[in-house]
Structure 1
Amino acid sequence: MVVQAPFPATGPALPGGAQAVDRALALLAAVGRAPPEGASLSSLAQVAGVAKPTARRLLISLMGAALVEQDAGTRLYHLGAGAFLLGLRAGRRHDMAELAADCVARLARDSGDSAFLLVPQGDEVVCLMREEGAFPIRTHALLAGDRNPAGVGAGGLALLAALSPEEAAATLDRVAPATAARMGEAAAHLPADVALAREQGFALNPGRVVPGSWGVAVPVLWPDGRPAAALTIAAIDSRMGPARQAELVRLLRAETALIEARLARPLTPGASPAPQPTLRTPRG
C-alpha cells in the first residue's frame, strides 16, 4: 500500500545533524505560536535561539515542505498548508477536546464548580476547555486558551507528577524563571507539590497561583503511560476541605478512566461512541 505524503517533499534538504532538526522544529513551533498577522524572521530567530541566516535557511526548507509559508507582501511567516493537513489528520486520531467535552461538562455539572481540560505543550500547559458549574461564586484564575509554565496550577502539577521524577525535575529546572515570574515565592513549593501529587495520585493547588482559588486535578494517560491531558476542578478555598477534595477526586477519576478508554480504542471509521458512565452525584 502506498501512502501519499500529507505535504510535498520538494524543498531543499535540511542541514545535517540532529541539532538542525531540533532548530527546525523550534522554528516551526515558533511560527505556530505567532500572532495572526504572522512572525518576522528576526523574532523567529530570537525565539528559536539561532542566527538569522540559519533561521532563514531552515525556514526555506520548511517552506519547501509546505509546513511554513511567507506572505509576499508583509514578508511575515505563517503555518503552511502542510501543517494544516497534518493537524487535520492528527485531529482525526486524537482530538482531545472532542474526546473529553462531555466529561468536562459532567464534572462542572456534578461538582457545581469550574471544570477544565488541560494539555501539555512542550514545557507549557494549555487550557483547552472550561465549563462552569452552578455554584454562584467562581474562580477565574484560568480561561480557555490560557497557557502557563509546566507545574503552575493543579493541572500542571498533575501532568508533571505523571512523568518520572527525573523528567519532572528537569522540566521544573527549565521553567524555573517562568514559574517564579508567574507564582512569585510560591514557586518554591513546586517540587514538593509534584512529589505529593505523585504519591497521592492526584494534584492539589492550595491557592498558590491566585490566593483563595484552589484546584484538584488528575492526569489522563496515553496507553503507554505518558500524560496526555489533565482534568481539573477549581473552586474557592471554602469549598475545598479534605472531605470534598476526596469527592472531587472520585469524580475526576471516573471521567479520566472514560477518556483513557477512548484513547486506547483503535481508530475505526464509523465506530460507535464509547459507552457513557452511569456516575451521577448531586451538585456540590
Structure 2
Amino acid sequence: MTEPSKQNIRAVSRALAVLNSFTQKRSQTLADVTNATGLDKGTTRRLLITLMDNGYVAQDPTTQQYRIGRALRLLAADVPDGFDLRAVASPVLTQLASEFPVTAFVSVYDDGDVVCLDRIHDMKGIEVHWWAVGGTLPYNCGGAPKLLLAFQPVEEIERVLTREPTAMTRASITDRGALRDRFAQIRQQDYEFAVDDVTLGLTALAVPVRTPDGSIAGAISIAGLTPQLCNEDGPDPLHLGQLREAARQIERRIQMAGAA
C-alpha cells in the first residue's frame, strides 16, 4: 500500500474517498458510503453535506439516497474521451445561433438527468437563461430532457418515471401515461417541440445527435419566443430543418474525431 504524503490533507483525502465510493454505483445510502469508506457515520454525513453544498453530491428528496452531483459531471465533461461533444458542437451551434435570434444548447443524458454542456447565444435576440451550463431541468420539461429520456431503454424510462414530475408551468406534462405517449411520439418524429412548459412565452426545439454506430451521443436544441418558433401545426419548418442539418454536421465532426 502506498504511504500517504506528509503533505496529505486528511479532510481532502476523506472527501475524495467519499466521491470514489460512488464508482459504478448510481446511488448510495449514508450507511453504504460509511461502509465503503470506513469512516464513522458522523464524519461521513458532514462530508456529504459539504460536498452537497458545493454541488459535487446530490440527494434524492424521495429516497434520501446520495448520488454524484452536477458539479462533478461538469468537470467530467471537460475530460477528453474519444470526442468532446461540447467542443465538436460549439462551432456548429455558434453558426446556428448567428442565423436565428435564438439560444442554442448541447446536452447529454446522465443517469436520469439531462445536463447542459454549453449554451450559445447571439446578441441579436432574446437570451434564454432557463438552463445554465452544468445545470439540469426536470425530466418532463423542456425539449432536450424529454427527447433524451425518450430514447433510453424502457426500464430506464420507467425508473425515471418513479420520480414525481414537476409542473414548471400549466403547460408542463405531469401525467405519467401522457409522458409515455409523448416519448413514443418523440421517437417516431425524431424531435421534441416543447411549448411554454418551462417558462410561459418561451419554446424549445430539440433533435438527437448520434454516433456512427447509431447510439445517442446527446441533443442539440434551440430556445426562443414561442411565436418565433411556432407555426399553426407545430415547429417552424425552417428552424427544424436547420437544427437537423446542424445535428448532421456535428455527427460528421464526431465521425472525423473518432477517425483521427
Secondary structure of residue in 2 paired with 1:149: coil
Residue 254 of structure 1 is aligned with which of 242, 245, 251? 245
Distance 1:55 1:168, change over 3 A: closer
Q: String of CA shifts for 1:178-201, please: whole Å, max 9, x gaps.
A: x32656763225333322222211
Aligned ranges 1:32-181 → 2 under 5 Å: 48-52=27-31, 54-59=32-37, 91-164=80-153, 166-167=154-155, 169-175=157-163, 177=164, 179-180=165-166
1:89 CA drift (Å): 9.7
Contact 2:140 2:166 in 1 (8 A): no
Which stretch has the larger CA shift, 198-207 or 234-243? 234-243
Matched letter for residue 87 of structure 2: E
Superposed CA RMSD in Å reads 3.9
1:27 touches 1:59 (CA, 8 Å); kept in 2?
A: no
Fraction of identical pairs, as percent: 22
Q: Which runs of 5+ in 1 are unaligned?
A: 1-7, 11-23, 31-46, 61-69, 272-284
- 1:186-218 superposed Cα distances (whole Å, 9 cap, x missing partner): 322533332222221111001112111101010
TM-score (normalised: structure 2) = 0.67
Determine the structure 2 residue equivalent to 1:17: none
**Structure 2 gap ranges (5+):** 4-18, 58-71
Return the letter of the residue paired with 1:99. Answer: V
Q: Distance in 1 between matches of 2:21 and 2:99?
A: 41
> Is the counterpart of residue 217 in structure 1 residue 196 in structure 2?
no
Report the number of matched residues: 216
Question: How many Å separate the matches in 2 of 1:258 and 1:181?
Answer: 35
The 3 A distance-change label for structure 1 pair 131 and 9 is farther
Q: Give the letter for the 1:260 counterpart.
A: E
Contact 2:140 2:173 in 1 (8 A): no
1:161-185 CA-partner distances (Å, limit 9, x unpaired): 3335x2464144233x1x3265676
Alpha-carbon deviation of 1:112?
1.8
What is the TM-score with the length of structure 1 in the denominator?
0.62
SS in 1 for 2:82: helix
Q: How big is each residue's C-alpha offset from its partner over 1:142-170, in whole Å with a ceiling of 9 and x where there is no partner?
A: 22222123343101122123335x24641
User: Partner of 2:137: helix, strand, or coil?
Assistant: strand
- Alignment partner, residue 33 of structure 1: none
Match of 1:3 in 2: none
Q: In structure 2, how many angstroms separate the alpha carbons of the residues matched to 1:27 and 1:228?
A: 23
Q: Is the 8 A contact 1:139 1:236 kept in 2?
A: no
**Contact 1:162 / 1:219 at 8 angstroms: preserved in 2?**
no
Q: Residue 127 of structure 1 contacts residue 145 of structure 1 at CA under 8 Å; is this kept in 2?
A: yes
Larger proportion of helix: 1
**SS of residue paired to 1:58:** helix
